[in-house]
Structure 1
Amino acid sequence: MKIRVLGAGAGGGFPQWNCNCHNCARVRAGTLNGQPRTQSSIAVGVDGAAWVLFNASPDIRTQLENFPGAWPKHGLRDSGIQAIILIDSQIDHTTGLLMLRESTKPLEIYCSEPVQQDLSTGFPVFKMLDHYCKVNHHPVPLDGGGFTIPGFEDLRFHTHALKSKAPPYSPHRHDPHEGDNIGVIVEQISSGKKLYYAPGLGEIEPHVAAALKQADCVLVDGTFWQHDEMARAGICEKLALDMGHLPQSGPGGMMETLADSPATRKILIHINNTNPILDQDSPERSALTQAGIEVAYDGLEIEL
């Protein structure tokens, strides 16, 4: 199984266009030992020619242009991206669908029913695409059930619901539904290797703990280092868990959680611009390294 990290940042990317926090100011000035990141997305495939895209960030055009595996190879209009799985209906994971409107065939999109509803009502991307390439929606199970995608017969995808909030524009923003956010286990049938992908993770539910223990590689929520990180940065009073993100540090945090995972690769993705782990010289980054936890970056390639 081949995995390409197209974007490793949280919403807004790094640096965020209007942010002058400690990290953003230094990366612009060239004084931070770290690199910019676009908004989170990955691609998964087997043969290096055909890929399943996970989320379509607003940075999708740049991400695909930097990814030769997705370049057109057959005829005048073509792409290595053959299907799309959406984790949720958030702006930073779905706006890029509009950039794919020139597709010569309908976009094959796999997502939950609540996400399909959000993208047909509160943020009607699917209805907008009806005027262009159109969308073929394929519902996904929320109980860990598996499915295959045509053209990827050696991969099986298992999807389960995660506790989360729908976006502000969702008709059920204040009425959480199963499927507002999902985690995905990607299993290569021939090798038995497994990837667990969950860029938004606010609670380690039993099925999440089980997924973390059976995966060979985990790519999970790395948004915040601390629960009150945004307040410490002087940006807002929102807390990590209230935003649906488990911080890395502290009791029950992601570092403590991943200590029990036997995965050979433990990687954080969806990293907010305020997170000190973006600085490779920071003590927080050193703590992750000592714990055997990696920090994803744009262009990271993983093979299982």
Structure 2
Amino acid sequence: MKKLFLLGLFLTCGTVAFAQDQKLIVLGVAQDGGYPQIGAVQEFAAVELGQRPRQKVVSLGVVDEQAGQKFLFEATPDMSEQLYALNEYLPTPGTLPTGIFLTHGHIGHYTGLMYLGREALGASQVPVYAMPRMVGFLTNNAPWSQLVTLQNIQLKPLASGQVISLNPRLKITPFLVPHRDEFTETVGFELAGAHKKAVFIPDIDKWAKWPQQLSELLKRVDYALLDATFYRDGEIARPMAEVPHPFVEETLRLLQSLPPAERAKVYFIHFNHTNPLLQRDSPERRAVLRQGFHIADEGLALPL
């Protein structure tokens, strides 16, 4: 993968220059079903004809060159390719990361763990950071339980609001968000690097259901990668109340009064295959960018 949007080897903070040895890398931007999505014949045809690019399922990588560490956020069905892409930034044997962080138990966010098992890589004790219900889900349900019993993965329990220090310059804090928690709880992550902070919320039901004010959250971070599953109501044929997410139109209205510097912190991510923001030439994409927000693309690298 080409390192798109890489912002250079050196950045300036005030009058002090620092090497960009910590990076947050976007490894996928699509909702759990990816793009093209199963059953969408026209989407497959468009990809085959080169009219639209394939989009991997939402995932982030974090690299700390100084510490010799790299972490994966979400274990998607595209995890094999995503680990290969992450390996370009910090090569390691077998492309394995230092650890994997999971947000919740929907298919696009944990099923890539299967590739660590005996049918594929046969990994040994890869640290997997997860919330208590997620830990129980993986421990007590086949085939995931085999990963635990064979020690392909080593589960590392998280607690909402509890800071995890991965090294002196890199800290991760999970926090609960309201979502369809059929099997597990759902969290977002705050990532605090040596110089920058980011927040990652790929799935949430509605901003109004969350006691945290989104505008207040933006004040304390430099980047916010936010749920943009659907652009507007009526986008899919089934009742959208069955799969609640904040419509991008709703998020735009919520944040429209913020100053440009605050709006520029927002990177929309986790797009359903129907979302027009996936289309490079769509009027919706142009409108979002014109308002000063960003749209996450695979390969985007941001300094931490």
Unmatched tracts of structure 2, length 5 or more:
1-21
Partner in structure 2 of residue 217 of structure 1? 223
Aligned residues: 273
Alignment match of 2:232 (pick from 226, 230, 237): 226
Aligned: 1:8 with 2:29: yes
Alignment match of 1:62 (pick from 81, 86, 93): 81
Q: Where does 1:134-213 land on structure 2 (aligned, <5 Å)?
A: 134-142=152-160, 144-149=161-166, 152-167=167-182, 170=183, 180-188=185-193, 190-191=194-195, 193-204=196-207, 205-207=210-212, 209=214, 210-213=216-219
* Distance in 1 separating the partners of 2:49 and 2:133: 42
Cα RMSD for the two superposed structures: 2.4
8 Å CA contact 1:71, 1:80 repeated in 2: no
Distance 1:301 1:70, change over 3 A: closer
Deviation at 1:201, TM superposition (A): 1.8
Q: Where does 1:62-81 land on structure 2 (aligned, <5 Å)?
A: 62-69=81-88, 72-73=91-92, 77-79=93-95, 81=97
Q: Deviations over 1:203-253 (max 9, x none)?
A: 22232523233210011111110122112xxxxx130x541311101xxx1
Deviation at 1:104, TM superposition (A): 4.6
Distance 1:124 1:211, change over 3 A: farther
% identical aligned pairs: 25
Deviation at 1:160, TM superposition (A): 1.0
Look up the SS of the partner of 1:286 in the other structure.
helix
Q: Deviations over 1:21-44 (max 9, x none)?
A: 6x5554443345xx2211111111
8 Å CA contact 1:83, 1:107 repeated in 2: yes
* Distance in 2 separating the partners of 1:56 and 1:126: 13
Aligned: 1:42 with 2:82: no
* Distance in 2 separating the partners of 1:206 and 1:157: 20
Distance 1:294 1:20, change over 3 A: farther
Distance 1:244 1:125, change over 3 A: farther
AA paired with 1:295?
A: I
Partner in structure 2 of residue 98 of structure 1? 114
Partner in structure 2 of residue 247 of structure 1? 247
Please give the TM-score of this superposition, normalised by the length of structure 2. Answer: 0.81
Farther-moved stretch of structure 1 (58-67 vs 277-286) = 58-67
8 Å CA contact 1:15, 1:28 repeated in 2: no
Partner in structure 1 of residue 239 of structure 2? 238
8 Å CA contact 1:16, 1:273 repeated in 2: yes
AA paired with 1:29?
A: L
Please give the TM-score of this superposition, normalised by the length of structure 1. Answer: 0.81
8 Å CA contact 1:2, 1:303 repeated in 2: yes
Partner in structure 2 of residue 257 of structure 1? 254
Deviation at 1:100, TM superposition (A): 2.2
AA paired with 1:58?
A: P
Deviation at 1:301, TM superposition (A): 1.6
* Distance in 1 separating the partners of 2:26 and 2:274: 20
8 Å CA contact 1:216, 1:263 repeated in 2: no
AA paired with 1:17?
A: I
Look up the SS of the partner of 2:218 in the other structure.
helix
8 Å CA contact 1:186, 1:195 repeated in 2: yes
* Distance in 2 separating the partners of 1:31 and 1:157: 38
